[in-house]
Structure 1
Amino acid sequence: MTTELLPGCTGVLVLADGTVFQGVGVGAAGSALGEVVFNTAMTGYQEILTDPSYMSQILAFTFPHVGNVGVNVEDIEQMGGGSDTSARGAIFRDVPTDPANWRSQNSFDGWMKSRGVVGLAGVDTRALTQIIRDKGAPHAVIAHDPEGRFDLEALTAQARDWTGLVGLDLAKPASTLQAFDWDEGLWEWPEGHPRVDAADKSVVVIDYGVKRNILRALASTGARITVVPATTTAEEVLARNPDGVVLSNGPGDPAATGEYAVPEIRKLVDSGKPLMGICLGHQMLALALGAKTVKMDQGHHGANHPVKDLTTGKVEIVSMNHGFTVDRDSLPEAVTETHVSLFDGTNCGIAVAGKPIFSVQHHPEASPGPADSLYLFERFAGMMRS
């Protein structure tokens, strides 16, 4: 390794091919291994870094200024845990700024330290994004040492030897260990998140790495929510006699998680219960229906993705976070494509003919539109009521 570290370097990102990005270490000291992806969102960095779908990934923000609104407990998306079940590391163009927002309860840097998120700032994120666009998401190690001591050869070997996300089931470690109920609704000014008491329908959410705002959006439709672990059987779900079932988002390879989840999803499909899938849940529903999933080179990560609802002709601006996609050419005849990405034409939604079953690849709860996709929860609620 011939790369010389610059004076004052306290953080590095070392790619599997030996490329080294140097800068200022922020957040937690130490190192983290993962797949590097970029996110184009201009806001929502706390929600992004706590999304379990980013588990085993290192996230580069293309927007240069991060940290200005601080952090708070309300904007955490994962149900529990730290960087072990969400983003492992974060990369910034500028050093995160001090908070200047009335909702802030802590500085971004201090919060990253407490969660174990290794950060790197002061690097050319445009150059890194170009590498990802041209060559795909690389395996890498991000490291932060206040003393600036790095074994670049060892870090390169660690990144090179990592097998990556293909074939990796991450839903089990991201999932809850036991069932629990949820009654918190979507955020309202100025009270925050209200409790939803008058629920007329019951929904079981299978947790493959669920985000809190998915549960809030469901509760706000008037549903009583029960969240169950990823390994819950269809018989256990149906024994609760729900009015509908939701397959949540989550990390990892859908085919790997599908080894134990897909047979149960098939039983839920056959039950006739209304069924809704989101992100990983969408991909595994597609697998259960006979389609295939494939790994994407860069994936989709951002809050500015245009998606068209083919059933209404409506175009919505959505939040995306996925590295695998449903192969649209593998969809069986009884499955209709309902949503499509206007960036690259990839599949973003399906529905089953004659059954109250649908799913979407994007995150309708994330609200970058800000409410473009919330109709999907109402659509699901309507299926349960009818």
Structure 2
Amino acid sequence: MKGFLVLEDGTLFAGEGFGAPAVRAGEVVFNTGMTGYQEVVTDPSYYGQIVVMTYPLIGNYGVTAGDGESRRPWIRGLVVKELCDRPSHWQAVGSLSDYLAGHRVPVLAGLDTRALTRHLRSHGTMRGVIATLKEGEVAGPEQVAAWLEMARSFRLDGAVRRVSTASAYRVPGHGPRVVAVDFGAKENILRELTARGCDVTVVPAWATAEEILALRPDGVVLTNGPGAPTDVPEAVEMVRGLLAHGRLPLFGICLGHQIAALALGASIYKLPYGHRGANHPVKELDTGRIHITSQNHGYAVAAESLPPEVAVTHVSLHDGTVEGLAHRRLPLFTVQFHPEACPGPQENRYLFDRFLALMARAAVSTRSA
């Protein structure tokens, strides 16, 4: 099966297509992770994106029953250099190509993905179309022109509403009550919370501050999710309402970090090609420690726009962008990277322990008030 990738600047890549014949438009981004492709394709933060994997061999350990970060893949397409269709792993329940084909996600193989990545690094993230054709079908100039127009007209609107839970649900525990606002939450965020005994209630992205406070939480987690934080102004207003409470601990992750920054009065800007991978070095300013982090985001907080009461706690060693914030007075801290990893290093899970400690201090303060 023939396959093609057309970028909005008119660049055309050809390769071998896998899965069901399909044509999908999306934002073309690259991920530098060597492993963790199943977690990537099932991460709701990748909604609307065509993901290019820079590591040359993808699919060699197949897919497993427990490695997904949600119930289905969210990517619009996958581009790899070499796709292994005969995986070898004792936990594998099938191949990556069969898994994606079952969800009608097109896969394009046989490209020089590192050359494609250099193109994206030079020209910035682009919109594009991935197309896998029926056997014997040929793509002529008119077809390619139609794909190019499709790419240029693609818009990533309403992404958070498409991936968020439609209604609230509870993951019971015996510890502190935590509300997780689902902007596109990865399952491992919930697993990290429940592993620490938290009684978690997951609410939709459009929940109001009043609805959240009515649940009487000990703390709130603002989760990851796709798209730009400016696309969910109602979430920014919700966070402002929670901040007005004054004593409720808040922990923001990725998109949640950006939404919290907007609520605090900061501004956001789009990165040329984003940070996506499991090997991004981040410096914690208080300790000087360097953490290797898992990341997936296309926007960043403008450090110069932060109010004086908000401190930068972490910075990227790649480009100096803001990777963490903490309020000097309110019980709020956020990180741009993924402390729950999956895929990626596990050294940043301590941030969940920090959140539990923050809730414990807030509880003591409330009782003594």
Find the aligned partners of 1:77 and 1:117 in 2 and give their Cα distance: 17
What residue in structure 2 maps to residue 173 of structure 1?
A: 162
What residue in structure 1 maps to residue 263 of structure 2?
A: 288
Aligned to 2:89, which of 101, 114, 124?
A: 101
What residue in structure 2 maps to residue 305 of structure 1?
A: 280
Aligned to 1:131, which of 111, 119, 136?
A: 119
Aligned to 2:15, which of 23, 26, 50?
A: 23
| 8 Å Cα contact 1:24/1:95 also seen in 2 | no
What residue in structure 2 maps to residue 261 of structure 1?
A: 235
367 and 52 in structure 1: CA distance in 2 versus 1, 3 angstrom threshold? closer
| 8 Å Cα contact 1:294/1:324 also seen in 2 | yes
Aligned to 1:145, which of 129, 133, 148?
A: 133
Task: State the Cα deviation string for residues 64-100 of structure 1 (Å, max 9, x = none).
Answer: 111111112311112x4x44xx211000001333111
Superposition map of 1:29-40 within 5 A: 29-40=21-32
| 8 Å Cα contact 1:321/1:362 also seen in 2 | yes
- SS of the aligned residue for 1:75 comes to coil
368 and 307 in structure 1: CA distance in 2 versus 1, 3 angstrom threshold? farther
| 8 Å Cα contact 1:318/1:368 also seen in 2 | no
Find the aligned partners of 1:182 and 1:47 in 2 and give their Cα distance: 21
What residue in structure 2 maps to residue 332 of structure 1?
A: 307
State the superposition RMSD in angstroms. Answer: 1.3
Find the aligned partners of 1:208 and 1:310 in 2 and give their Cα distance: 28
- Normalising to structure 2: TM-score of the pair? 0.94
Find the aligned partners of 2:287 and 2:129 in 1 and give their Cα distance: 44
Q: CA deviation at 1:160?
A: 2.0
| 8 Å Cα contact 1:25/1:146 also seen in 2 | no
Q: CA deviation at 1:121?
A: 0.1
1:110 and 2:102 equivalent? Answer: no
- Normalising to structure 1: TM-score of the pair? 0.90
Task: State the Cα deviation string for residues 26-46 of structure 1 (Å, max 9, x = none).
Answer: 133201101111100000000
| 8 Å Cα contact 2:294/2:345 also seen in 1 | no
Amino acid at match of 2:208: T
Aligned to 2:225, which of 224, 229, 250?
A: 250
Q: CA deviation at 1:182?
A: 2.0
Aligned to 1:375, which of 350, 353, 365?
A: 350
Aligned to 1:229, which of 195, 204, 228?
A: 204
What residue in structure 2 maps to residue 59 of structure 1?
A: 51
What residue in structure 2 maps to residue 192 of structure 1?
A: none
Find the aligned partners of 2:259 and 2:3 in 1 and give their Cα distance: 38
Find the aligned partners of 2:194 and 2:287 in 1 and give their Cα distance: 25
Q: CA deviation at 1:146?
A: 3.2
Amino acid at match of 1:335: V
Runs of 4+ in 1 over 6 A off after TM superposition: none
What residue in structure 2 maps to residue 50 of structure 1?
A: 42
Q: CA deviation at 1:369?
A: 5.9
Q: Which runs of 5+ in 1 are unaligned?
A: 1-8, 184-196
Q: Which runs of 5+ in 2 are unaligned?
A: 362-369
Find the aligned partners of 2:205 and 2:302 in 1 and give their Cα distance: 24
Q: CA deviation at 1:313?
A: 1.8
Find the aligned partners of 2:9 and 2:217 in 1 and give their Cα distance: 50
Q: Sequence identity of aligned pairs in percent?
A: 48
